[in-house]
Structure 1
Amino acid sequence: MSIGFLNKSSKERRDMILNGNVLNTMIILTIPMFMMGVVQSLIPFTDGLFLNNNSGYLVAGAVGYSQSVIGILNAVSQGLSVAASAIIGQLYGKGDMEKTKESSLQILILSFAIGIILSPLCVILSYIISKGVSSDLSTYVFTYLGLYSFVLPFLFMASIFNSIKNGTGHPEAPFLRMVILLILKIIFNFIFLTFLDLKVLGAVAASFMSYFIIGVWMYYDLFIKKSDMRLSIKEYKFNFELNKKVLILGIPSILSYVLVYFGFFLINREVVKYGAIVLNASTIASNINSIYFVLPTSVGTTVTTMVSMHIGNEDSKKAKKVFYCGLLISLIIAFSIILIFTPLNPYIVKMFQKDETIMQIANKALFIYMFSVIGFGVFTVEQGAFIGLGRTKMPLLTGIMRIWFLRYIFIIFTQKYLGVYSIFWGNLFSNCMAAFIFLFFVLRVKWVSAIEDL
């Protein structure tokens, strides 16, 4: 990413995205998202390292098990961020700066308020979920989920912050936020897990302190820092029509993410049947694999930004070109990941655990996971195109089909023969099949905005 790009104003970036070379622009925009993806995936990776090496496999497994439950609640913020990306990107593509800022402010406050409202639900779920696991995990799951309710509103704020910055061609801002968050997490993990040895309480404390400080930084970036996209809380007046449009546009994606994470939760329930050791091995594989999966996802985010802006500018030809360039870049990334990291996986697993049983299961899981990156990369580009077009009902269909019809049913029917490894083979099968199926839909869709009256 060139320094010249970082110094460009919002209007100059808009001109570059709309009128510049598609492939070059996509690479420039993807690099900070790519880097952010690496940093973002390093957060659960480093969390796993601290938990496994300081708190033991029981605490690490309980925290890993709880993540899918937190994901169900955080799915609301992710769904709202999808709507935000589509609306803000298309308004920005039209060049309407005032309406872009108004929409950004409305969606940000709506999301943060919903995060506060949902926090008590996290406490309620902590009691319910902890009753469904073994006694050696129950207390840790209850404590982690109950206390994580204090962190939840900041996750909502972060999701919309990313949408605002990505939608206006400033992908380096979410990257900087993620770098700061990673540094803070490492510092507070060391304090609360290594130095104070607070185990599950320390894991939550590290998250809360990190996200609270980041929340203050995001407020400064959006409301105090001088820029042509500076927001003003004093200008806020609840816009019923806009918020209604956001919710209508966001609900399909919210349902999609909820169903996806609920599917992950059910899959984790299948894993936990095999005991805490297998659960921990699966969590380690997921922590490592998250690095590989996040990389092609960055391309999908770029596709959303560029497609939405070209559609807002009524240039469907360039929007299609963005999609095909995204497929090419995603495939190159996926095959590079397989070639580079497959021989390194056993050494990475050893950083987490020295237990032979855990290492054996985690290594086999990772080998299968590696090849599912190909299908997942293509799938995220396809989703990025649909979101950029404002067709957010399609992610609902893809979420249901990929996790429920293709993965969960595969696991149920093959578990008798493959055991716990049916979960990892199900990941490979569902990602590749979903990519193939929804490529057909992308090729047949009308490349015009599905959002009315922007």
Structure 2
Amino acid sequence: MEASQRKELILKGNMYKAIITLAIPIMINSVIQTLYGLINGIWVSKLGKVQFAATSFVWPVNFLFISLGMGISIAGTAILSQLIGANRNKEADKYATQIIAISLVSSIIFTILGILISPAVVYLMGARGDLYNYSVLFLKLTFLEIPFIFAFFNFNSIMNAQGNTKTPTVLSAISVILNAILDPIFIFTFNLGIAGAAIATIICKMLLVVAVIFYAKGPSNVIRPDFKDFKFSKDIIKQILKVAIPSALGSSGSALGFIVLNGFIESYGIDTMAAFATVNRITGLVMQPAMGIGAALTTIIGQNLGAEDIQRAEEGFTKSLKFTIAFSMVGCILMLIWDREIISFFMQSGDEGVITESIVYLKYISISMPLMGIFSVLQGVFQGSGHTKYSMNMEIGRLWFVRLPMILLFKHFTSIGSQGIWFSMSSSNLIICLYGYYIYRQGCWRNKIVKTKEVLV
């Protein structure tokens, strides 16, 4: 589909078709990334449990640095989609150029800083002995990926802003398949061990960026970054960071919250921790349609706000909500009917204690599945409109101000045990969705973040 056809579909076409067209590639990409994580984990696990643990141990640290890149990407999609919707393509070119420049500079700084602080951070996290050595090595190498990750984030935001969610998915899928092939070669054939897994990923990310640069110069793209006579624009950077920083804080704050949450859950015993991990894998798969729809709505909201068609933006929200609730309800019913069968499939050990605990958690979380879908759609509205402070409030508020305090209260003032965790998780989804819907009804998101006239330097 050409860029003009995608724009016509988003601004004037059948809304359900627009949602499906944008959402399906995003869902496929998410599934591909999940499968890659599983494949990569299998190869690394063959080295030993310490090496496998090291890759998971340092992930939150790397993610905190990547959060800013994700924030810039969301800001890019919001701003660029609004400019495209308003037919201000030349301004979109200038914004895209500034976004790429900001990402490049920040990624280089983060790479250098991350490599320097890796030993201290891993030590402060409590790693010692072999776990410390493998964690430091792996973390330093993963920081070398950051410039390439940020570059792909830029490409993703530029493509998504145009409604092209297919191309990033295809390129990402090729990169993942190549990575799965190179992993055993670098890990075992070249005998590089855990370092081989990281090096294989760096090479694949590098090749992905080369492909991105080649594709971005093609004639089908509406947005064309231009670095001729480039210089930083204070006004544009200020606008980008105004949208990017809340989004980055929301992602990083959520990541930190889940680290703390894991600590609370672990205190209830290994069965509870295993149940939490098992059910999260299940809900992660079931929620793929809702998350894809939420991400697709980001572009729909952005372009229609840019075109000053508030009514159609609202139509996008309403129909996305109907889609998401329908998918979530189906998932909820299936999980309630075949709870034991589903748990047993994902928990192959047959441990009855874990299975019983998982079934209890699954029942609680199944009931709140539609709420998790509504959460994704509301995130799509606030991120697409560029009012990311509200999406930040939802991400951080759900964990730090609702879920974690409720878990503490149930733990210290009741005797219901682990059910307090499961009830808190479901209740926090309800409370934060009520907050999000209240903000939506207030209408603040309808205000465009890109004004009628911009000072472009």
Q: What's the TM-score bracket when you normalise by the shorter of the two chains?
A: 0.7 to 0.9
Whether 1:449 and 2:441 are equivalent positions in the alignment is no
Q: Which amino acid aligns with 2:253?
A: L
Superposed, 1:312-327 pairs within 5 Å as 312-327=306-321
Q: Which amino acid aligns with 2:375?
A: F
Q: Tell whether the 8 Å contact from 1:81 to 1:163 is kept in structure 2 after alignment.
A: yes
Q: Tell whether the 8 Å contact from 1:331 to 1:378 is kept in structure 2 after alignment.
A: yes
3-state DSSP class of the match of 1:213? helix
Q: Tell whether the 8 Å contact from 1:62 to 1:141 is kept in structure 2 after alignment.
A: yes
Whether 1:86 and 2:84 are equivalent positions in the alignment is no
Q: Which amino acid aligns with 1:108?
A: I
In the alignment, the residues of structure 1 paired with residue 247 and residue 283 of structure 2 have an alpha-carbon distance, to the nearest angstrom, of: 24
Q: Which amino acid aligns with 2:214?
A: Y
1:380 paired residue number: 376
In the alignment, the residues of structure 1 paired with residue 371 and residue 167 of structure 2 have an alpha-carbon distance, to the nearest angstrom, of: 29
Superposed, 1:6-405 pairs within 5 Å as 6=1, 8=2, 10-52=3-45, 54-123=46-115, 124-133=117-126, 135=128, 137-193=131-187, 198-223=192-217, 227-234=221-228, 236-270=230-264, 286=280, 289-339=283-333, 343-350=341-348, 354=349, 356=351, 360=355, 363=358, 367=362, 372-405=368-401
- Alpha-carbon displacement from aligned partner over 1:64-95 (angstroms, at most 9, x marks no partner): 23222222111101111221111101000011
In the alignment, the residues of structure 2 paired with residue 291 and residue 311 of structure 1 have an alpha-carbon distance, to the nearest angstrom, of: 31
Q: Tell whether the 8 Å contact from 2:278 to 2:346 is kept in structure 1 after alignment.
A: no
- CA distance change for structure 1 residues 144 and 370 in 2, over 3 Å: closer, same or farther? farther
Q: Which amino acid aligns with 2:291?
A: T
Q: Which amino acid aligns with 2:90?
A: E
In the alignment, the residues of structure 2 paired with residue 208 and residue 419 of structure 1 have an alpha-carbon distance, to the nearest angstrom, of: 44
Q: Tell whether the 8 Å contact from 2:162 to 2:222 is kept in structure 1 after alignment.
A: no
- CA distance change for structure 1 residues 215 and 445 in 2, over 3 Å: closer, same or farther? same
- CA distance change for structure 1 residues 106 and 261 in 2, over 3 Å: closer, same or farther? same
Pairwise CA distance, 1:442: 1.1
In the alignment, the residues of structure 2 paired with residue 374 and residue 25 of structure 1 have an alpha-carbon distance, to the nearest angstrom, of: 22
Pairwise CA distance, 1:298: 1.1
Measured on the aligned residues, the alpha-carbon RMSD in Å equals 3.2
3-state DSSP class of the match of 1:238? coil
Pairwise CA distance, 1:270: 4.3
Q: Tell whether the 8 Å contact from 2:276 to 2:361 is kept in structure 1 after alignment.
A: no
Superposed, 1:399-414 pairs within 5 Å as 399-414=395-410
Q: Tell whether the 8 Å contact from 1:282 to 1:361 is kept in structure 2 after alignment.
A: no
TM-score (norm: length of structure 1): 0.85
Pairwise CA distance, 1:322: 0.5
Q: Which amino acid aligns with 2:121?
A: I
In the alignment, the residues of structure 1 paired with residue 182 and residue 352 of structure 2 have an alpha-carbon distance, to the nearest angstrom, of: 30
- CA distance change for structure 1 residues 235 and 411 in 2, over 3 Å: closer, same or farther? farther
Pairwise CA distance, 1:174: 1.6
3-state DSSP class of the match of 1:121? helix
In the alignment, the residues of structure 2 paired with residue 132 and residue 278 of structure 1 have an alpha-carbon distance, to the nearest angstrom, of: 23
Q: Which amino acid aligns with 2:23?
A: T
In the alignment, the residues of structure 2 paired with residue 272 and residue 199 of structure 1 have an alpha-carbon distance, to the nearest angstrom, of: 30
- Alpha-carbon displacement from aligned partner over 1:191-228 (angstroms, at most 9, x marks no partner): 34565675532332232222122122112222367644
The one of 428, 431, 449 aligned to 2:429: 431
- CA distance change for structure 1 residues 228 and 314 in 2, over 3 Å: closer, same or farther? closer
Moved more, 438-447 or 413-422: 413-422
3-state DSSP class of the match of 2:217? helix
Q: Tell whether the 8 Å contact from 2:26 to 2:169 is kept in structure 1 after alignment.
A: yes
Unmatched segments (≥5 aa) in structure 2: none
Q: Tell whether the 8 Å contact from 1:260 to 1:400 is kept in structure 2 after alignment.
A: yes
3-state DSSP class of the match of 2:167? helix
Q: Which amino acid aligns with 2:447?
A: V
Q: Tell whether the 8 Å contact from 1:41 to 1:290 is kept in structure 2 after alignment.
A: no
Pairwise CA distance, 1:175: 1.2
- CA distance change for structure 1 residues 270 and 434 in 2, over 3 Å: closer, same or farther? same
Pairwise CA distance, 1:133: 3.0
Q: Which amino acid aligns with 1:171?
A: T
In the alignment, the residues of structure 2 paired with residue 359 and residue 273 of structure 1 have an alpha-carbon distance, to the nearest angstrom, of: 15
Pairwise CA distance, 1:158: 1.9
Moved more, 87-96 or 330-339: 330-339
Q: Which amino acid aligns with 1:133?
A: G
- CA distance change for structure 1 residues 275 and 91 in 2, over 3 Å: closer, same or farther? same
Unmatched segments (≥5 aa) in structure 1: 1-5
Q: Which amino acid aligns with 1:444?
A: Q
